[in-house]
Structure 1
Amino acid sequence: MKEYGEANHVPIINAKGLHVLTETVAQKRPRRVLEIGTAIGYSTLYIAANGADDVEIVTLELSDERADEAEGFIKRSRFAGQITIVRGDAGENILRQSGRFDLVFIDAAKGQYPDYFRKVYPLLAEDGVVIADNVLFRGYVRGSEPVPRRFRTIVKRLREYIGMVTENDEFRTEIHEDGDGLAVSWRYR
């Protein structure tokens, strides 16, 4: 999958982010997971392999082409019966979810992270964890370099997201700065 992703320019989680993701999932052992941004299912299958034995994953993907590719990879895995791909706009599809999620992994439209967080918050278990990839976006979010005009909205919203999870008393957040930045926010109530 990694070779396929690289050869076809599919944005998959980098090695350092994947290490933090799998370590966090293995520590949490979630039973219900919501993933926002499936791509080809690369991180989905790593989450499945490190979650609870009976993990159930709902993964949201906007692109039909990517969802088809993910379906192909997932069907060949031992987790096929535990993963549901929901196609369409993630912001709308989050609102169609019910029940509580032990873990939420956000790796989709970077400018939508604050909106995604607001929408998943009511669905997050009281001891749940939210992991968000690419929160430092090419070094611009915490860097001193001027932000190119085309990235200003994304950087502004990622800064807003980081503020949401670091200034909220219900969460303990660690920003892993390797790669493009990964935020791990543990909810404790």
Structure 2
Amino acid sequence: MSGITYDYMEKYLRELIGDSKGIIKELEEFAEANGVPIVQKEAARLLEFMVTVKKPKKILELGTAIGYSSILMELAAENNVEITTIERDDKMVEYATENIKKAGFEDKITILHGDCLEILETLDDEYDLIFMDAGKGHYSHFLPHCLRMLAKDGMIIADNVLFRGMVACKDLMIRRKITIVKRMKNYMETISQDENLLTTVLPMGDGIALTVRRNENEKTGTAGTSR
């Protein structure tokens, strides 16, 4: 098991999703052959789904890697969204730049090269969707900046929030991962307990948290007036 779901469940769900095509398939094969972490298949399908449903005009991504998620979301948006993605690793930026150009999205996807937190401090735009997939031990540090730039009806999607099940079960804990797990637990508690936020966690992939702002009625516990 992955620590999140049973193997037979993952196998069945991935069979339902089916095989990828085109450049997405190429990137998946490259990532597997070179040990590059990209979102798991279930998470990739969720990103496609949310982009299709929400139809965001601007997306911020924390963690570019080889450009897989950015390209996936741009395809889901039918080339109709502006994506800003942040990556500090020189080699990943090189790979992502090549892949984004190959996909024909160089005018739609902008890579900001540098430390995620440092770059977040300089940004002052508004985003309809923010995908958090970098620096697993720093989600709590990223959050204030993400909320500052999140559109009123925007959504934050955070990947790896259950971190191989270790966040939910101490029996799965690997000693060298204790710091990351503690920090991720802090992030989870923050987004779950803040009365201004509404969060749901999906036990799929490596755990995915979806966070939006509550409306005023939800925060005060009042219902809308019917006519």
Q: Same fold (TM over 0.5)?
A: yes
2:51 aligned partner: 25
Aligned to 1:108: 134
- Classify the secondary structure of the residue corresponding to 1:184: strand
Structure 1 gaps of 5+ residues are none
Root-mean-square deviation (CA), in Å? Answer: 1.4
Q: Contact between 1:100 and 1:124, CA under 8 Å: does it hold in 2?
A: yes
Structural mapping, 1:78-117, within 5 Å = 78-117=104-143
TM-score by length of 1: 0.95
SS at match of 1:96: coil
How far did 1:186 drift?
2.2
Contact 1:126 1:188 in 2 (8 A): no
Cα distance in 2, alignment partners of residues 54 and 187 from structure 1: 25
Report the number of matched residues: 189
Look up the match of 1:160.
186
Shift of 1:102: 0.6
Q: Secondary structure at the match of 1:99?
A: coil
**How far does residue 52 in structure 1 lie from its aligned partner after superposition?**
7.0
Question: Contact 1:29–1:50 at 8 Å: present in 2 too?
Answer: no
Alignment partner for residue 118 of structure 1, among 135, 141, 144?
Answer: 144
Aligned partner of 1:149 in structure 2 is 175
Provide the C-alpha distance between the structure 1 equivalents of 2:28 and 2:172, rounded to a whole number of angstroms: 33
Match of 2:74 in 1: 48
Q: Which amino acid aligns with 1:47?
A: M
1:72-98, CA deviations, whole angstroms, 9 ceiling, x for partnerless residues? 000011322011000010000011112
Structure with the higher helix share, 1 or 2:
2
**What displacement does 1:53 show?**
4.7
List per-residue Cα deviations over 1:102-159 (Å, max 9, x = no partner). 1110111100010011221111111110001100001100114152321111111111
Q: Which has more radius of gyration?
A: 2
